[in-house]
Amino acid sequence: MSTDRVEALTRRVLRAVRRGNSRSRGHRHGALKELLLGVLEEKTSRRHALVMLNRLERTFVDWNEVRISSLYEIAHTMDGSARALQWAERVREVLRRVFDTTNDLTLETLAGLSHDKAKKMIREFAALPDHEREDAGRRPAPKRADSSAERPAPNRKEKG
């Protein structure tokens, strides 16, 4: 996630935390939903991310139930597309990180932190799983030999 996106996401999440997850005065989303929207927006449009999260909210009792559900159940609820399993994995991973860090799913912990500490925590919550990172699984390019002397000789049979 780029620095600008993390900064924008931090502002949106902290704004939601400060208003206390209320939906008054035209504010529609709680802090956790803003975090999940920001994470899903990396891979899809905000509108599509919002549709998927609304489906989860209608189907599951709360975000904790989503956190402990199977990936296939989450994916089926979110979207029937081929990418739904990836999105489900991201949502569940973020929920697990938030819960493991704060022991709840409210993000109220962020309210007492400085902006920089909150941004660092949000970046940690939104981090990609290791197997999804761009550089994961990539091997360094093989070094090119500069001279033919370093290359192995071709395997030729000698005539005898």
Full-model pTM: 0.73
Cα(124)–Cα(157) distance, rounded to whole angstroms? 59
Looking at the domain 3-128, which fold is it?
A: Endonuclease III; domain 1 (1.10.340)
Check residue 76 and give its pLDDT. 93
Cα–Cα distances (Å) from 124 to 39, 78, 137, in that order, read 11, 24, 21
Check residue 158 and give its pLDDT. 53
Distance of CA 128 to the CA centre of its chain: 5
What are the domain boundaries of the chain?
3-128
pLDDT tens-digit map of 5-56: 888 888 888 888 887 744 544 445 688 999 999 999 888 898 999 999 999 9
Question: Residue 87 — very low, low, confident or very high, per pLDDT cuts 50/70/90?
Answer: very high
User: Sign of dihedral through CA atoms 34, 36, 37, 38?
Assistant: positive
CA torsion 105-11-33-24 (nearest 10°) is: 100
